[in-house]
Amino acid sequence: MNDHESAVTGLDAEFQALRPRLLGVAYGLLGSLDEAEDVVQDAWLRLRTAKAAGGDEIRDATGWLVVTVSRLALDVLRSARHRREEYVGPWLPEPVLMGPDPAERVTLDESMSMAMLVVLESLSPAERTAFVLHDVFGLTFAEVGAAVGRSPAACRQLAARARAHVESRAPRFDVDPAEHRRVVRAFARACLGDDLDALLALLDPDVVLRSDGGGRVRAARRPVLGAAKVARLLFGIRRFGSHELVPVTVNGWPGLLRYRDGRLVAVMGLSIARGRITAVDMVANPEKLARVTRADETRNRR
């Protein structure tokens, strides 16, 4: 193996080791794994092209990749704003479930829950990028500035504005994981049972349910607010076939897979505070369930 081949092999190994974190950065900015993977692959091809052309100025491939992925994701985010404004019903991020293949895994901070990503959608692209890169992934404001195209001081202000907005709206993460799982399992039993009072006892009075069907399947076109309305909707769903709720980890937190007549129809992320469910984020758009469905089919064939 000559020096060039050795360098390429080392670069490839460095990229593969960094890939889960790069996907985490891109996903945190975009809320879409398909778009995140495209961005990461684009950054990798650009790095290889630059190195093949004698890009000796790229001495820190890891830093270069993180900044390039961030910059490319920001471009995609800006172009996606209009599409999401015209989206049919609430737009929710593509759910991330831990897969069996380490190469397909995404490194997610615990804050990248479904509910947090919904809050991030209300930020400007630049604010979201500054917050995710600095507050979530720990990049310096100089690195954030390289991605956003602004001075470090300007990025500091962007992050501060974003942080204030997030802190006023985002869910708290002081729930014990075991308690979170207990509430999720009790919620599943109540949804499948006939005790409406048991379900109401688990729901915060101001609970919100967001259902993303993308215009492809039946789903509420607006967020459903209040325990009584959410409970009626969840009970009403049972009219459409035989249902099963399977506990899983969704975006790093306990959630549920919903099956109807044996077919996956939704992934549910739940936010919990003081022992009650404050938000139910239900992704039913088949396009956003494609990865989970394929994983299910693979497991069933084994």
C-alpha to C-alpha distances, 55 to 48, 60, 71, 277, nearest whole angstrom: 9, 11, 19, 52
Q: What is the 3-state secondary structure (H, E, C) of 49-107?
A: HHHHCCCCCCCCHHHHHHHHHHHHHHHHHHHHHHHHHCCCCCCCCCCCECCCCHHHCCC
Residues in the chain: 302
pLDDT digits (tens, 9 = 90+) for 20-38: 999 999 999 999 999 999 9
107-116, 131-140, 161-170: which has the highest mean pLDDT?
131-140
- In this prediction the pTM is 0.87
Which residue do the tokens 């092209």 mark?
49
Query: pLDDT per residue over 248-299, tens digit each?
Result: 999 988 899 999 988 999 999 999 988 899 999 999 999 999 988 776 655 5
Summarize the chain as % helix, strand, coil (round to 5): 55, 15, 25
E strands, the chain, where?
203-212, 224-225, 243-250, 253-260, 263-273, 276-283
pLDDT tens-digit readout, 61-109: 888 999 999 999 999 999 887 788 788 889 999 999 865 554 456 777 6
Our measurement of the distance from residue 187's CA atom to the centroid of its chain's CA atoms, rounded to an integer in Å, reads 22
Residue labelled with tokens 């907005």: 165
Residue 271 near residue 113, CB atoms below 8 Å: yes
Indicate whether 300 pLDDT > 80: no
Distance CA 223, CA 219 (A): 10
What per-residue confidence (pLDDT) applies to 72? Answer: 96
* Gap between the Cα atoms of 45 and 41, Å rounded: 6
pLDDT for res 293: 79
The answer to whether residue 149 scores a pLDDT higher than 90 is yes
Give the model confidence (pLDDT) of 191-238 as tens digits.
998 789 999 999 999 999 999 999 989 888 999 999 999 999 998 887
Sheet of 243-250: strands edge to edge?
224-225, 203-212, 276-283, 263-273, 253-260, 243-250
Tokens standing for residue 178: 């075991």
14, 43, 58, 72 from 61: Cα distances, Å: 8, 11, 6, 16
pLDDT of residue 165: 92
Q: Are strands 203-212 and 224-225 parallel, antiparallel or unpaired?
A: antiparallel
Tokens, residue 166: 């997030």
Tell me: pLDDT of 172 over 80.
no
Specify whether the CB–CB gap between 281 and 224 falls below 8 A.
no
